[in-house]
Chain A
């Protein structure tokens, strides 16, 4: 697709390439998807005088561990940003390092969250325990699926990077993945505050 507009002679007018623009537009849709779910959460949260509802007293969401997890994810946003910086300066080795670090942080985040879920289910908080459990797993789970797909995408990019596909002149693949990654990372603190702290 890059070629198509090359020969139409209008490339110089584009501030953003098609791929980058496309990803940004996709984020609009993602935002609305999460708005729907967050809206649902808020309806239940505000509609219930006591939260968690009386039937769930005794089940505490792991705020502290998740707080640390939040920090890990934010850190991965930083490392991803560094990866992009590296390739902009044509530092391919650096790119590999930062990408790998980001991927590991992402996996770590997922792992910690997974173990938390295991504990919560053990304590009796399941998808079926009223809207409290339901919206918790659906909203947080929806984000987790996004993290997972971002991680998969990242490792694809990593693989491409190992094959030497990127350079300072050509790094759209890194860029689009970065945009998506940053979105997923930036979304999390909002969810953390709303679901765990609010």
Chain B
């Protein structure tokens, strides 16, 4: 073996090192930064429309016109001057069309939540959880030097950037960006005459097609790498759970995204080539429900794509910081496989009220509720892992605990909606919005934060500041619950989602105060994220320098030197045991690394 010639010492230019890098770790970090930037865009959009929900028709702070200006045309603030200029100019300014005087227009509102969700789902959670963690962790944790196809890997990142650029252009085309919800229901999305949105919707579809290619390339890479390139001794049942979750997610992405691509292609044909796949016409026309079936056949596996890596990360953190083996490692794996499998046969639960045959509704209700079973296994096994452990309340562990508890809330609210009769009432209300955010923010995002803090030392060779991390955690945790828990109550009160002005409805007027409270909390939540960003960049240069394995973890990524060189390992490690050998009886230290040849025979994990 001639291992060492491979490692760090070839000189690279800035471009090949930081921009068009072929190194999986750099690509992972690129995905991370990219996702964090998009998080701020997506979150910023949310804050914009949250303002409108709390104070309908009232100008935004800072950029909105003052009351004096609105009433008497008297210019008092800088913003007034700006509006004056905009109204006097000959052209139709972007702000004038979308937010006259700083008030969010109804059409603009639709565009805001559409893009909020699209960006969060496709450009934040998937790039970070799958793109960043997948790229960074897979080769390191299975013990290999890089991905199977480094060039495809780079391609995957740049395709994602291209998709984001195309998506961003959509904001500025005439007619505005896509405004048919992230679910893009036809015929609203398939015929420009219903929304006035022209190229925005096309770019939305094209961008997602590009994103589909990016995911396709990425998942081929992940699957091949995990199947073919594991270090000697790394059997499938010695893989860390986070690698299992990424493996399963890659398969889901591989199989789910093409279905969306086919739907998007049909949508583009409808919009640009005059076909009528999604428009019912008397003469040989299509079917609007077809879009929903195709979209949700992709969409439901997609939501498990969002949560499974989170489950994997949480499993790592819970085991490491309880200093205990995962409770029921194999059933954790089988539960994830079961969730992924059941995810394919439940899509109809989004369509209970859509006009789908009621008999099908009953079938989908049953399959949907069955997902509670593998989820129960996961939840109770996390608890079991903490049972009689030695729990350290580090910042990553706090996030993992938040993940478990918030996922339980989000999952349990899923049971209400899975129940067909109850869904009649809560479908398309804020109950659903509450559910969404408990699973994707409470779930995926908390796991993501935890993962970032946990692996930061390996990524950048330094620790994130612990005090700031904990302040960020508590602020986020509290503000998150204040933002999204009351949405359950709105939902029970019948508050519809996707409405820009609840005050237009008599039965919703009682919720004005609650909407204001939610908005306040949302702003707090948003600003809490600035702490994370500050901490992130500050620690990159100023953080405490990290040792090789500061958390005392067994898995292989901590065998590599810090910072990890090109080629990862001097010598490819050999794996002797499962990843969770913590607190083995009769051992002096409470951890035995997977690659540690001592202490054989392996105690478990085979």
Contact = CB atoms under 8 A, between A and B. Distances in A.
Give yes or no for direct A-B contact (beta carbon below 8 Å).
Answer: yes
Interface of A: 1, 4-5, 7-10, 14, 16-18, 21-22, 25-26, 28-30, 32-37, 39-40, 43-44, 47-48, 53, 55-56, 127-132, 134-135, 138, 142
Contacts of A18: 148-149, 224, 228-229
Given A8-B229, A14-B228, A134-B275, A44 B258 contact: no
B123 interface: no
A1 B149 contact: yes
Contact of B229 (A5, A22, A128, A130): A5
Contacts of A43: 287, 290, 293
A25 to B, nearest CB: 5
Contacts of B220: 22, 25-26, 29
Contacts of A4: 144-146, 229
B216 interface: yes
Interface stretch (B263-271, B345-353, B358-366, B372-380): B263-271
Q: Which of B1, B150, B258 has the most CB of A within 10 A?
A: B258
B226 to A, nearest CB: 11
Contacts of B223: 21, 25
Contact of A7 (B6, B149, B266): B6
A35 B293 CA distance: 13
A2 to B, nearest CB: 10
A22 B224 contact: yes
27 contacts: A4-B145, A7-B1, A7-B2, A8-B3, A8-B145, A8-B229, A8-B572, A9-B232, A10-B232, A18-B149, A18-B224, A18-B229, A21-B227, A22-B148, A25-B224, A29-B219, A29-B255, A32-B254, A32-B258, A33-B261, A36-B259, A36-B262, A39-B294, A40-B262, A128-B274, A131-B277, A138-B266
Contacts of B277: 40, 131, 134-135
B231 interface: yes
Interface stretch (B278-286, B436-444, B467-475, B576-584): B278-286
B600 interface: no
Nearest to B567: A4
Contact of B257 (A29, A47, A134, A142): A29
A34 B262 CA distance: 8
B110 interface: no
B446 to A, nearest CB: 31
Contacts of B15: none
Contacts of A25: 219-220, 223-224, 254
B65 interface: no
Which 7 pairs across A and B sit closest by C-beta, in order of nearness?
A130-B284, A36-B262, A33-B258, A134-B275, A32-B258, A53-B284, A36-B259
Interface size range of chain B in the complex: 35 or more
B256 interface: yes
A142 B263 CA distance: 13
Contacts of A127: 269, 273-275
A107 B483 CA distance: 60
A183 B275 CA distance: 28
Nearest to B290: A43
Interface of B: 1-3, 6, 144-146, 148-150, 216, 219-221, 223-224, 227-232, 251, 254-259, 261-263, 265-266, 269, 273-277, 281, 283-287, 290, 293-294, 297, 572
Contacts of B227: 21
A48 B281 CA distance: 13
A126 to B, nearest CB: 9
Contact of A44 (B150, B286, B297): B286
A30 B258 contact: yes
Contacts of A10: 229-232, 572
A33 to B, nearest CB: 4
A8 B572 CA distance: 6
A8 B284 contact: no
A39 B277 CA distance: 12
Contacts of B256: 32
Contacts of B281: 130
Contacts of B144: 4-5, 8
A130 B285 CA distance: 5
Contact of B258 (A29, A40, A128): A29
Contact of B216 (A29, A128, A138): A29
A166 B457 CA distance: 46
Nearest to B4: A7
A32 B145 contact: no
A190 B223 CA distance: 28
Given A26-B220, A32-B259, A55-B284, A8 B231 contact: yes
A26 B1 CA distance: 32
A36 to B, nearest CB: 3
A17 B229 CA distance: 10
Contacts of B232: 9-10
Given A29-B216, A55-B284, A131-B276, A37 B224 contact: no
B229 to A, nearest CB: 6
Contacts of B276: 130-131, 134
B160 to A, nearest CB: 17
A37 B277 CA distance: 11
Contacts of B274: 127-128
Given A39-B294, A130-B284, A131-B277, 18 more contacts: A7-B1, A7-B2, A10-B229, A10-B572, A18-B224, A25-B219, A32-B256, A33-B262, A36-B259, A40-B290, A53-B283, A130-B281, A130-B283, A131-B276, A131-B286, A132-B284, A134-B277, A135-B277
A9 B572 CA distance: 9
B382 to A, nearest CB: 31
Contact of A47 (B2, B251, B287, B572): B287
A22 B265 contact: no
A22 B216 CA distance: 11
Contacts of A9: 1, 232, 572
Q: Which of A32, A37, A130 has the most CB of B within 10 A?
A: A32
